[in-house]
Amino acid sequence: MPNCRIMFALALSLAALITGAQAAAVGCVDAKPGQVISYQGSEPVALDYVETPTYYYKWSAEVDGSEMASGVDKDFNFTTPDISSEEGMKTVIVTLLVTDGYGCIGETTQCLSVYAVPTCGIGGPDSVCQESPKKEFYYSGEDTSKATFAFTWSIDNKKVGSGESINIDWTSYKFGDHTLTLKVDKTYEGGMTVTTSCEKSVKYVESPVATFKMVGAE
C-alpha cells in the first residue's frame, strides 16, 4: 500500500473565487450575504507507484454549527446566508475532505466572515410643492453609531450630495416624478465595507395659480 504521508506531503490547495478575485487559502475571507462563492479542490498528485491516482471530494459549508451546503465534486459552489443588521457578522466554515482509493485522507478548512448589508431607508416627503421647493430628506435605516457610514444622494442618477441628511432645492427640476436614490456604505471594524441602495419616488408639483376677480357687488 502506498505511503499516505508521502501522498499528501503537498498541502491541498483550496482556492476561493470571490467577486472575481482569488482569495488567500488561509484565514477568514470577507464576504457579503447572498454572494456566490466558488471553490476548486486540489488535483490528484502523480506518484511513481500509482498508475492513475484518483481523488474523491467531500465538501461541507457550516454556519452556527449547522450544514448549509455540501458537495462531492471537485468544484464546489454555494451562496452565503442572509445576515441581519442585528447579527452584524457570521462565520461560515468550509471544509474539504479528500480521499483516494487506498484509504488515505487529506483535509483542509477555510472560514468566511459574512457581513450584513446595511438597512436602507429614505425619510422625507413624497411630494414637493413649487412655493416651498426646499425639503429635507434623511437616512432612516439602522443605528449609525455602531460602524462607519457614508451616504451618497442622487436624483435621476445624478449625484446631488452626501451626508446622513440632505436639503434639496427642487427649483431647477422639471415638474413631475423624480427618483431620489441613496447609496449607503457601511464599513465594519477591520475594514470590510458593504454597500446597498434604496430609492424614493418624489413628485415635484407646480403650485396652483391664485387669482380672483370681482363678479358683482350690491
Predicted confidence (pLDDT) per residue in 41-61, tens digit: 988 877 767 677 788 999 999
Shared domain for 108 and 73, answered yes or no, is yes
Q: Is residue 218 part of a domain?
A: no
Q: Which amino acid is at 94?
A: V
Half-sphere exposure of 122 (CA within 13 A, CB side): 27
* Cβ contacts of 145 within 8 Å, gap of 6 or more: none
Q: Report yes or no on 213 lying in a domain.
A: no
State mean pLDDT over 60-76.
Answer: 94
- Residue 211 pLDDT exceeds 90: no
pLDDT value of position 22: 34
The dihedral sign for the CA sequence 176, 121, 148, 92 = negative
- Is residue 12 very low, low, confident or very high in pLDDT (cuts 50, 70, 90)? very low
Q: Are residues 23 and 71 in the same domain?
A: yes
Query: Are 114 and 80 a contacting pair, CB within 8 Å?
Result: yes
Same domain for 8 and 80: yes
What is the pLDDT, as a whole number, of residue 114?
94
Q: Exposure pattern of 95-120 as b/e (b: 16+ CB <10 Å)? A: bbbbebeeebebebebebbbbbbbbb
Domain's final residue, options 71, 98, 115: 115
Please tell me whether residues 174 and 107 are part of one structural domain: no
Domain end (from 115, 132, 153): 115
pLDDT at 23: 36
28: pLDDT confidence band, cut at 50, 70 and 90?
Answer: confident
> Are 88 and 137 found together in one domain?
no
Average pLDDT of span 143-160: 94
Same domain, 102 and 9: yes
pLDDT score of 206: 95
Residue 15, domain extent: 4-115
Q: Exposed, middle or buried, 39 (CB in 10 Å: 0-12/13-18/19+)? A: buried
Same domain, 40 and 131: no
Q: Are residues 83 and 166 in the same domain?
A: no
Count: domains in the chain:
2
Write out the three cell numbers for 79.
451562496
| Domain identity same for 23 and 108 | yes
CA distances 16 to 24, 34, 130, Å, are 7, 16, 54
Here the cell at position 120 is 436602507
Of 86, 115, 144, which marks where a domain is finished?
A: 115
Per the listing, cell 490547495 goes with: 13
Residues 106 and 20 in one domain: yes
What is the residue whose three cell numbers read 412655493? 131
User: Average per-residue pLDDT in the chain?
Assistant: 85
User: What are the grid coordinates assigned to 151, written together?
Assistant: 451616504
The CATH number that applies at residue 153 is 2.60.40.10
Same domain, 104 and 188: no
Residue 211 falls within a domain, yes or no?
no
Prediction pTM value:
0.70
3-state helix, strand, coil in the chain (%, to 5): 5, 50, 45
pLDDT grade for 190, boundaries at 50, 70 and 90: confident
**β-bridge partners, 18:** 21
In this prediction, residue 20 has a pLDDT band, given cuts at 50, 70 and 90, of very low
Asked if residue 67 lies in contact with residue 61, where contact means CB atoms within 8 angstroms, the answer is yes
206 compared with 23, residue with greater pLDDT:
206
Report the range out of 25-29, 47-51, 76-80 with the highest average pLDDT. Answer: 76-80
As a whole number, mean pLDDT of residues 96-106 equals 88
Are 52 and 94 within one domain? yes
